[in-house]
Structure 1
Amino acid sequence: MRSWLAIDSDSDFSLDNIPFGIVSPLIKRGHWDDEPRAAVAIGEYILDLKKLFDYYYTQGKSGHAVNKFDHLFSCVIGYDTCKYGDVFTRSTLNDFASLGRAAHRQVREGIQVLLREDTPYPQVLKDDQLLRSTAICLRKDVEMHLPFAIGDYTDFYAGYHHAFAVGEMFRGAANAIQPNYNHLPVGYHGRASSIGVAACGSAAITRPVGQILLDPSAEVRKPTTAPSRKLDFELELGCFICVPPDQAGARVDVGEADEHIFGYVLLNDWSARDIQAWEYVPLGPFNSKNFATTISPWVVLADALEPFRAKGIPNQGPTPIQDYLKEDREESCFDIKLEVDLIAGDNATTICRTSSTNLMWSFPQMIAHHTLGGCALRSGDLLGSGTISGPNEGESGSLLELSRNGTKDVLLAGMESRTFLKDGDEVVLRGYCKSAAGVRVGFGECRGKVYPAK
């Protein structure tokens, strides 16, 4: 598809994408609008959905726009009752997500029709200069907000090569993978309150303070409380949940779990490896993980990724997979190209290139396992994939792997090197899919910059 808006061929936000986010447009007085609202990204622009529907409500009642919008948004907006029309005026996407996949699909396809070069409704937006000047602005002129009110956050450990590399590092190759890993998606509950986005530029990540065991070989193990010396990033995918009201609290079958997925983001689950090494036995990470998680601000709808389905890593276990985790299709994940840049000073170095096909467990399997025992999911819940790494050099999604836990220097541009992150370092995650025909669907950037401990 081609748009009447000018869109660069390398843009993540093509007409085939239409990702959703929450924005505050910049107004002429130089202050942010105090009403965050829903928008979609298209090339270097955003389409403000609140302005779009406000225009309908003010103009449509006199017959000016009713017929034009009726075909596009009839399943979402009730013109007389206004049943769903205000979901795009709210400061999160939770209510829109709760309408279900059919509604998300209808809205996305309707917006694509409005923006198509050969749109059958040019009078609705393309040729309406007043509406265009009101509802369309540059992405650089908006502040981004968290797209959802996130009630719960669960981080999984589905990246097989990362799990093997870290296990081999600490337990040896023979015991690298724990016995349960091949039978279930391992996960733990994270901290939703520390999830953020980069509103403008990079998210500010304050170096965490925690208990650290400086000498693990000492006869008497006595920790010290200090800023983390081994601050790390983790390259992950995030999945936002949508639960229609009539399905709240239900156990989700793996074959129906796709209907509970609103969309996907890039996710950086920042980690303090030295704090983690001391605290994680026996209950897992706590302060080493709960200080910051950064996501990309634009949510790519599940439908936009459907053309890019691919096979993930097959189950590695010696025994058959449990019935409740068996999927009918082989192409259970997406071929998303993932990259990580580390910016030190004025120089950026791409230190990782990998793919989401390195996940062993799919998000539908994670959802089926998550709800197996009766745990209810809610719209806006966030699931993390776990660190995504490949089997080869340069495919590791964390400095823990790249530096072999600080024993090997990672060489950067400008004669710099790192084992773990220093204050002032900036980490940029990128991800995109691209078809043989050149169709590109991407996530934009997930950026975070490290600042000194308080």
Structure 2
Amino acid sequence: MPSSPHRLSSFVEYPADSPFPLENLPWSIISTKSDHADKRAAVALGGHVVDLAALTSLHHLFDAQSAHPPPFDAATAARLFAQPTLNDYISLPSATHRAFRSFLQHLFSSHCALLRDDPSARHQVLVPRDDVTLHLPVKVGDYTDFCASREHTINAGRIIFNVDDRPLDENWLQLPIAYHGRSSSVVVSGTPITRPCGISKMRVPGAKPHFGPSKVVDYELEVAFIIGGGTEGKPNDLGEPIPLQEAEQRIFGLLIMNDWSARDIQGYEMVPLGPFAGKNFGTTVSPWIVETSALEPFRVPSPAQDPTPLPHLDQRGEGKQWDISLAVDVKASDSDKWTTTTETNLKYLYWTASQMVVHHAACGCNLNAGDMLGSGTISGPASDPNPAACLLEKTWGGRNAFKLEGGGERTYIQDGDTVRMTAQATRADGLTIGFGDCTGQLVSARHAA
């Protein structure tokens, strides 16, 4: 168990470097083998999950007169946590989220006897993580994908246009560019992704458009921001902007996201309206949502922005990112060895999550609890050893193949390959905040005319 004076201590045993300590408590939706249809809310704690629906049956824990009361009664908790999505809970005010998080940290602390000294209750609410199935934690109402990494945008532009010194477009430095994605194809980690079919055209003289399976399937390592209820527990009204000082309160938490991309389909369709079929065939997210409160120890200044953004986006040098290490591993179907293809960090992102929220709502667009904002591909600086957060960059448009640990090589993802994304924030005293895995296997196309 953690021994640092700056660490929380729980009666639930777990290693000091567990990705799911009491300081984390990430959220998901679970079911068990015995009641697979019964989906309900849970948080992770060490090697267990806390079944929050089961917790609500212990009414004495929700006593409003206790020394550390929860922000709602047992009946309200039962209604919130027996649902197959977290949408109703995350739509509550951000102060309520913080209060319930504090309640859970007290309840499972080593100095609280309510569960510590009640083996029957502990058995009821603590379920081994290996015994549960994890589901998509929210019903994603709308999904917007940004392009907030300076390094990725520069690299992709130079690859696509084959111009080694191509600069950033002027508008990219004035606003966080985005497109509207497809929420219906957002899936939880472990869901197979089918190679998409679409229209593409080879970049050679005399080539004609053709329909068929994409030949250039890529991953994009991103972080997704899940919109919550904000300070008032309600969405901004249609026509109502969100000021910069309130924007981060709109974000409930973060998860890992793989923005699967069919580069050949995407490349042919993007002009003049942007990505469509090259993107909407599948977006994989990790099952655990890490609350922004859990990530507060890992705040760092965001990169300097030059030119200074327009006033409604200007953070006046006080912009913040999160110091979260990100990685991608790829494994072929005929191998048991993983090849690390990307190592980067969320702190490199040029535009902040707050600026994304502000820009999204500046026109009067209303953001609802459960909406998802993708960060865009998070590539690192060229000085890092493995900074490319997609294979378009890593192979420089397919020109430079890379070796797999188990033999063979790749330029893009082949049928049967599995892509695994991971993220964690680590402090000097060993505190680790993990996100779980974001994994998907590419399977063969179902149809080609």
> Aligned-residue CA RMSD in angstroms?
1.7
- Name 1:37's counterpart in structure 2: 40
**CA–CA distance in structure 2, aligned partners of residues 33 and 134 of structure 1:** 17
For residue 154 of structure 1, give the secondary structure of its aligned residue in structure 2: strand
Aligned with 1:102 (options 90, 95, 108): 95
For residue 415 of structure 1, give the secondary structure of its aligned residue in structure 2: coil
Aligned with 1:258 (options 224, 248, 264): 248
User: Normalization by structure 1: what TM-score?
Assistant: 0.91
Deviations 1:214-261 (A, max 9, x none): 3x2223x42111111110000000000013454432311111111101
**CA–CA distance in structure 1, aligned partners of residues 91 and 62 of structure 2:** 25
**CA–CA distance in structure 1, aligned partners of residues 355 and 275 of structure 2:** 23
Is 1:233 the counterpart of 2:219? The answer is: yes
Aligned with 2:174 (options 174, 183, 194): 183
**CA–CA distance in structure 2, aligned partners of residues 311 and 343 of structure 1:** 35
In structure 1, stretches of 5+ residues that fail to align are none
Following superposition, the deviation at residue 173 of structure 1 comes to 4.2
Deviations 1:172-200 (A, max 9, x none): 244341110000000000000000102xx
Contact map agreement 1:72 1:106 (CA 8 A) in 2: no
- Name 1:347's counterpart in structure 2: 337
- Name 1:217's counterpart in structure 2: 204
Return closer, same or farther for 1:12/1:223 CA change in 2, 3 Å cut-off. same
In structure 2, stretches of 5+ residues that fail to align are 1-7
Pairwise mapping of residues 250-289 of structure 1 onto structure 2 (< 5 A)? Answer: 250-289=240-279
Following superposition, the deviation at residue 212 of structure 1 comes to 1.7
Following superposition, the deviation at residue 325 of structure 1 comes to 0.5
For residue 143 of structure 1, give the secondary structure of its aligned residue in structure 2: strand
Counting matched residue pairs gives 430
Q: What amino acid is the match of 1:218?
A: P
Query: Identical aligned pairs, as a percentage?
Result: 38
For residue 375 of structure 1, give the secondary structure of its aligned residue in structure 2: coil
- Name 2:80's counterpart in structure 1: 87
Is 1:325 the counterpart of 2:317? The answer is: no
Return closer, same or farther for 1:329/1:24 CA change in 2, 3 Å cut-off. farther
Q: What amino acid is the match of 2:398?
A: G
Is 1:78 the counterpart of 2:73? The answer is: yes
Return closer, same or farther for 1:170/1:246 CA change in 2, 3 Å cut-off. closer
Q: What amino acid is the match of 2:104?
A: I
Q: What amino acid is the match of 1:229?
A: K
Q: What amino acid is the match of 1:92?
A: T
- Name 1:400's counterpart in structure 2: 392
Pairwise mapping of residues 366-381 of structure 1 onto structure 2 (< 5 A)? Answer: 366-381=356-371
Is 1:444 the counterpart of 2:436? The answer is: yes
Contact map agreement 1:165 1:176 (CA 8 A) in 2: no
Aligned with 1:116 (options 109, 121, 127): 109
Q: What amino acid is the match of 2:327?
A: E
Following superposition, the deviation at residue 411 of structure 1 comes to 1.4
Q: What amino acid is the match of 1:156?
A: F
Return closer, same or farther for 1:69/1:391 CA change in 2, 3 Å cut-off. farther
Q: What amino acid is the match of 1:209?
A: C
Is 1:15 the counterpart of 2:22? The answer is: yes
**CA–CA distance in structure 1, aligned partners of residues 28 and 76 of structure 2:** 22
Following superposition, the deviation at residue 349 of structure 1 comes to 1.0
Is 1:205 the counterpart of 2:193? The answer is: yes
Contact map agreement 1:241 1:261 (CA 8 A) in 2: yes
Deviations 1:345-400 (A, max 9, x none): 21101111111111000010000000001000000000000000012241110011
Aligned with 2:412 (options 407, 420, 444): 420
**CA–CA distance in structure 2, aligned partners of residues 187 and 312 of structure 1:** 19
